[in-house]
């Protein structure tokens, strides 16, 4: 049991499933749903009611780091979901969209 905390050994802390989407009803989930609905398309996120720029950047950072989404800034307030990491496999939505149009 070396390497685990006392709370982990007692079962107080449970690892969350990183493949699951964010908690329903949160702004992070609303941003996640908006980006997933418009893969490889620019999305204006000004419609989401973030309290300030820090909250917006924190939500984008969490989606990048914790959920493996490849989100790029196209221009001010317009973000594009370019791809997603599923384990060790990278799914490139932008390349799929270009192949569809060609």
**Residue 28, domain member (yes or no):** no
pLDDT at 60: 96
Let me know if residue 73 belongs to a domain: yes
- Cβ-contact 32, 64 below 8 angstroms: no
* 52 domain-assigned: yes
Q: Residue 13: inside a domain, yes or no?
A: no
State how far Cα 77 lies from the chain centre: 16
pLDDT above 70 (res 22):
yes
Q: What is the 3-state secondary structure (H, E, C) of 24-81?
A: CCCHHHHHHHHHHHCECCEEEHHHCCCCCHHHHHHHHHHHHHCCCEEEEEEECCEEEE
> Does residue 102 surpass a pLDDT of 80?
no
- The verdict on residue 50 lying in a domain is yes
What total of structural domains would you count in the chain? 1
pLDDT of 83 higher than 90: yes
- Domain range enclosing 75: 40-102
């Amino acid at each position: 049991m070396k390497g685990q905390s006392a709370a982990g050994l007692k079962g107080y802390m449970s690892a969350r499933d990183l493949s699951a989407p964010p908690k329903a009803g949160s702004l992070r989930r609303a941003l996640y749903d908006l980006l997933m609905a418009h893969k490889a398309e620019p999305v204006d996120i000004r419609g989401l009611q973030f309290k300030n720029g820090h909250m917006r950047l924190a939500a984008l950072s969490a989606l990048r780091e914790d959920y493996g989404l490849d989100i790029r800034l196209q221009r001010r307030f317009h973000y594009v979901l370019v791809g997603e990491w599923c384990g060790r496999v990278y799914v490139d939505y932008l390349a799929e969209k270009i192949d569809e149009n060609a």
